Amino acid sequence: MNRSVLIVVLVLATFFFYSSALDNGFTNWDDPKYLTQNKRVQVLSFESIADLFTRTKIGYHHYIPLTLLSFAIENHFFGLDPKIFILNNILLHCVNVLLVLWFVFLLLKRFDIAFMTAALFAVHPVHVESVAWIVERKDVLYTLFYLGSIISFIYSAKREQKKNSFYSLSLLLFLFSLFSKPAAVTLPIVLLLIDLYFHGDIYVFDWKKMAGALFNKIPFFILSGIFVFIAFGQQKPGLFDIYSRLEHIMIGSYGFMFYVVKLIMPSGLSCFYPVPAKINNSLPILFSIAPAVLIAAVFSLAFVFRKKRELLFGLLFYCVTISLVTFFGASTALASDRYTYVPSIGVFLIASYLVCHLVSHESIKNMAVRLSLKFLISCFFVVLAIMTFDRCKIWENGITLWSDVISKYDNVIEAYVNRGNEYGRNKEYDLALEDYKKALELEPSNLTALTSRGYLFYLMGFYDRAIDDYTKAISAYPQYVPAYLNRSLAYERIGEFRGAVDDLMKARMIDPNVSIERLNDLKKIK
């Protein structure tokens, strides 16, 4: 079949298998924080755009001005219509599929391997989270510029004509990628890998070559350093961080390999993978040995792939791009599907290279066997595509999303709380209370469950019960400002103005940004 036809079919198939997401709405997982309740994307003006790019410390938001700007533009022209946001995510994913094909073809000069890599990237269900989840616009947008920067850099390295133009374009696209999501900071190292792939030998250290390779990456490393500094400046001490630094390494090492398993066998996908509970204050044995297993596996594969630069590049690409989120991420979960969006390219490149060589004329002379293998591979792609089509529906709303998590992990407190919040928003109070009850059975002093149930009691008019829950939350976490603020509201409702003022004053002692206007109004009443 003609290459152009194959590419068109791939893009159309990608759009079709993600089209089931177009009927979805917003979820209650970060959509309010970044979009539906984010005043910074509700207006579009020179002042608002300048604010997006100049303010870096904005509470719990990451510094993602270009992503937020894309939301502001959509909201300005179409309003808060989830279909528009999801449609644009799908279209961006389709463009990324083409960029993956282009990138791998530039590396290997093999259309069959590039096409299979792009096809895996296109329809693999592990990417549903990055595409169907509206606020993960971060992933599809930063990847577009990330891959565009890599492709431009390759052209700058391989072409004498317009060399500087391609280099400048690569640097500009990298900046856009950083503005979309800080995860792009890995790109300078990937560019070094590309230099090694085309011009060097990773096993032969040449100071002259290394110096030359590093010199034209200096602007990229400077930009990365700036955005790393911004990212660290946004981090806050975690209330829920119960793991030591060594345990974080164990969890990261396990997650590093966990992602590979999910990319090869994408069963049991979930938007939340909990870290197993500690036994005798220790993580399970698999986590304890994970760092050693990971090191052994990476070095063994590097040795096996040492004479196949394509395979070695795929391995190192995965290692570089996944390490950032596994070892330096701030998530409380074991893993997140969205973190595989870019790293998966390395795994898919390795798989495609091996499969294409397996079914080649040189490897298998018998045509019947070769055709049978191709049929099985086609079936595998069909299964992946169907899984993607079905998984998109999980993201319909907060209830479907968290019900899916609970069906796979019935001990995830966050899932019960978030589903309870969605039930509460829909005024299904009995179902919400059941979920909060289940969450508190799992952990009686859980902060989010107590404050969420307290707020529901407040909405139902049970102010004393709301105060009880907020008081328990404050007893468990005395520095938690929202509990003081909400308890203040409940005190005000029952006429306990002194208690309301005291809570507001305590909240301001912890966080000076708490509004003083309401405090002054209450003091007048008191």
CA distance linking residue 446 with residue 472, whole number of Å? 9
* Residue 281: per-residue pLDDT: 83
Question: For position 41, what pLDDT does the model report?
Answer: 92
For residue 373, what pLDDT is reported?
87
DSSP code for 274? P
CATH code for the domain in which residue 424 is found: 1.25.40.10
d(CA 52, CA 58): 10
pLDDT at 279 (0 to 100): 83
Phi (first) and psi of residue 222, to 5 degrees: -65, -45
Report how many domains make up the chain.
1
Total residue length of the chain: 526
Domain of residue 516: give its range: 411-525
The b/e string for 57-96 (b: 16+ C-beta within 10 A; e otherwise) is: ebeebbbbbbbbbbbbebbeeeeeebebbbbbbbbbbbbb
In a domain, 474, yes or no: yes
CA–CA distance, 500 with 507 (Å, rounded to integer) = 11
The per-residue pLDDT for 236 is 56
The pLDDT assigned to 518 comes to 57
Contact 292, 254 (CB under 8 A): no
Helix axes 497-510, 481-493, angle to 10 degrees: 170
Burial of 434 (0-12, 13-18, 19+ CB in 10 A): middle
* 502 assigned to some structural domain: yes
Residue 460 in any domain: the answer is yes
Amino acid identity, position 246: L
DSSP state of 279: B
Q: How far apart are CA 217 and CA 221, in angstroms?
A: 6
Q: Determine, yes or no, domain membership for 204.
A: no
Name the phi and psi angles at 479, rounded to 5: -95, 10
Q: What is the pLDDT of residue 244?
A: 82
CA distance 437 to 178: 42
**Spatial contact of 473 and 451, defined as CB atoms under 8 Å apart:** yes
Does residue 160 contact residue 111 with C-beta atoms inside 8 Å? no
Q: Are 393 and 19 in contact (CB under 8 A)?
A: no
Partner residues linked to 335 by β-bridges: 273
Side chain identity at residue 4, one-letter code: S
Token digits of residue 498: 């002194």
Compute the distance between CA of residue 317 and CA of residue 149 in angstroms, rounded to an integer: 15
The reply to whether the predicted model has a pTM over 0.95 is no
Q: How far apart are CA 36 and CA 42, in angstroms?
A: 8
The amino acid at 156: S
Q: 10-residue block means of pLDDT along the chain (526 residues)?
A: 92 98 95 92 92 73 91 96 98 98 96 97 98 97 98 89 91 98 96 87 59 85 93 60 83 94 95 88 91 96 92 97 82 88 98 90 72 89 97 97 96 96 96 97 93 95 95 92 92 89 89 68 52
Residue 190: inside a domain, yes or no? no
pLDDT for the residue numbered 277 = 82
Cβ neighbours of 445 (radius 10 Å): 12
DSSP string over 64-114: -HHHHHHHHHHHHHH-S-HHHHHHHHHHHHHHHHHHHHHHHHHHH--HHHH
Task: Assess if residue 425 is contained within a domain.
Answer: yes
SS3 216: coil
Match 């937020």 to its residue by tokens.
68
- Please say whether the dihedral angle defined by the alpha carbons of residues 305, 308, 311 and 317, taken in this order, is positive or negative: positive
Q: Is the residue at 457 inside a domain?
A: yes
Q: Give kind and range of the element (H or E) at residue 46.
A: helix 46-54
For residue 80, tell me if it sits in a domain.
Answer: no
Using DSSP's 3-state secondary structure scheme, residue 272 falls into coil
CA atoms of 214 and 191, how far apart (whole Å): 10
